Amino acid sequence: MKKRAWIVLSAALLCASAAHAASTRTSWVVSQVYGYNHPFAATDSAELATKMSTMANSAFDFYRGTAHIFYQDMKTLPASAYTTTQTGYTWIGGDTHFGNFGAWQDSGGNTVFSVDDFDEGYLGQYVWDLRRLATSMVLAGRANGLADSDISTAIKTMVGAYVDEMSNFKGSSAELSFQLKSGNTSGVVGDTIGAAKGDSRSDLLSKYTQVSGGARTFQTIAGKLATVGSTTYDQIAGAMSGYIGSIASSKRYAASYYQVKDIRQKLGSGVGSLGKLRYYVLVEGPSTSTSDDVILEVKQEIGSAVAIVDNGQLPAADYGNHEGNRVAMTAKAQTLNADVLVGYATIDGSAYYVHEKSPYAEDFDYTQLSSAGKLNTAATYLGQALASAHAISDQDYNSAIVSYSIDKQVTDAVSSKSGLASEISTFAFGYADQVNLDWQSFVGAYNAGTPLY
């Protein structure tokens, strides 16, 4: 893209966007927050209160909770110079930021580092994931005390690693075996993988459950696990048959595996998803022993924020008109050896995504990226992990949805690796400045007691 165009982009970002002049952006931001969250006020206002207080903590927390604002802006901000119609059919995560990567044990027993959040999964331009991740690098990097010059270097490293990996995948099936493991990672990412390797099922069960009289049940933990009423309990238990039916027969266990032993509502998890209902369901697991019980996470889902800018790119018919299935499909599309318990359910008329609360998983702690070297090392793996997620979710996953090789399409569209890296870095700093302004608008409304949900 010509330099003049990116000067215009930077000016547009700093002024908000062409559709929302600076004088009206504040009220627009407040109305966007209210409009997105209000539908959940009747069912979980306490969690929404937690969400608002969390978003008021920092610009990065605000950014995590407002993917819908990001995609409203994508409708009006200039497109990338390195996209085509074909690259617009990349299966993106949609809410790609530092907090949505982690290490976990896949169904093949490998402990890997990858994307690990799929709520906003949809078909869209690959650069939207790059832009959203890069902006998070600016916001979190600044919060970690890093210089803008070091953050810019890391963003360019991330984009370069992404492009290089997509190029490596082009014309081969290398993406079907590529994984980030302890042997090919280091730094904070390597440490995250190592921590996941040290996890155990007994530790997870001890954290959330207890055994009394030979039966395992959930603990009630203030602010984390709350009891549910009998009607809700029965609705969730009754939805299990539909969930089991959503799992491919080749990956389905015996019916006894899914026998419900206890249910709790999970509180306080995430940022963007706060306010949507989330439950933990304790099931029997492979045997009647209490030592191998399994915790399922059952999470309410709505339409992807990505659909704001390109509604219809992933027709609802492709995921059976069920938002929980859309998320489940994204999880299976973007990970090798996906969790065999991934599925979906309908509870009291609402869509839910279901998967195992893995005993062998660790979040990526981006607060540990406290030096330029640590950030730059991690940036390579973030770029590679994102490339892997995009490349394996094309025709490799379902050719009826994406009928060609995305790694080839992206590689062919990137005529200049340094040009794309500079473009993404310029975008990230400009948009991070806008996020800071939006966050200040939000905090002002929050402190004034303005209704936000």
Write out pLDDT tens, residues 18-30.
444 666 999 999 9
Beta carbons of 434 and 13 less than 8 angstroms apart: yes
Q: Residue 450 and residue 453: Cα distance in Å, rounded?
A: 9
Question: Which of the four pLDDT bands, split at 50, 70 and 90, describes residue 5?
Answer: very low
Up-side HSE of residue 38: CA atoms within 13 Å toward CB?
9
Q: At residue 8, does pLDDT exceed 80?
A: no
Up-side HSE of residue 227: CA atoms within 13 Å toward CB?
5
CB atoms within 10 A of CB 417: 17
What are the Cα distances from residue 275, in Å, to 32, 45, 301?
A: 15, 7, 11
% of the chain surpassing 90 pLDDT:
94
What average pLDDT does range 426-433 have in this prediction?
A: 98
What average pLDDT does range 417-428 have in this prediction?
A: 98
- The string of pLDDT tens digits covering residues 186-218 is 999 999 999 999 999 999 999 999 999 999 999
Q: At residue 143, does pLDDT exceed 80?
A: yes
- The string of pLDDT tens digits covering residues 351-391 is 999 999 999 999 999 999 999 999 999 999 999 999 999 99
Characterise 439 by phi-psi region: left (phi > 0), alpha (psi -120 to 50), beta (else): alpha
- The string of pLDDT tens digits covering residues 158-171 is 999 999 999 999 99
Q: Residue 366 and residue 4: Cα distance in Å, rounded?
A: 34
Residue labelled with tokens 């030592």: 291
What average pLDDT does range 61-74 have in this prediction?
A: 98
% of the chain surpassing 70 pLDDT:
95
Q: Residue 282 and residue 209: Cα distance in Å, rounded?
A: 9
Q: Residue 378 and residue 380: Cα distance in Å, rounded?
A: 5
- The string of pLDDT tens digits covering residues 241-299 is 999 999 999 999 999 999 999 999 999 999 999 999 999 999 999 999 999 999 999 99
CB atoms within 10 A of CB 154: 28
Beta bridge partners, 343, equal 354
The residues near 303 (Cβ < 8 Å, ≥ 6 apart) are: 323
**Strand pairing of 343-347 and 294-300?**
unpaired
Q: At residue 302, does pLDDT exceed 70?
A: yes
CB atoms within 10 A of CB 177: 9
Residue 211 has phi, psi (to 5 degrees) of: -115, 125
Q: What is the pLDDT of residue 310?
A: 85
Q: Answer yes or no: pTM beyond 0.85.
A: yes
Q: At residue 230, does pLDDT exceed 50?
A: yes
Instruction: Single out the residue of 346, 304, 353, 302 nearest to residue 325, CA to CA.
Output: 353
What average pLDDT does range 326-352 have in this prediction?
A: 98
Q: Residue 58 and residue 439: Cα distance in Å, rounded?
A: 8
Beta carbons of 217 and 209 less than 8 angstroms apart: yes
What average pLDDT does range 323-345 have in this prediction?
A: 98
The residues near 308 (Cβ < 8 Å, ≥ 6 apart) are: 68, 71, 72, 74, 75
Q: What is the pLDDT of residue 294?
A: 98
Q: At residue 16, does pLDDT exceed 50?
A: no
Q: What is the pLDDT of residue 17?
A: 45
Q: What is the pLDDT of residue 23?
A: 66
Beta carbons of 239 and 258 less than 8 angstroms apart: no
More confident position, 10 or 382: 382
- The string of pLDDT tens digits covering residues 84-135 is 999 999 999 999 999 999 999 999 999 999 999 999 999 999 999 999 999 9
What are the Cα distances from residue 393, in Å, to 172, 337, 374, 420?
A: 15, 13, 29, 22
Cα dihedral value 194, 197, 203, 205, nearest 10: 130
Q: At residue 3, does pLDDT exceed 70?
A: no
What is the helix (H) or strand (E) element at residue 300, kind and residue range? strand 294-300
If you write DSSP's letter for every residue of 349-384 in order, what string do you get?
TEEEEEEE--SSEEE--GGG--SHHHHHHHHHHHHH
In 3-state terms the chain splits into helix, strand, coil percentages (rounded to 5) of 55, 15, 30
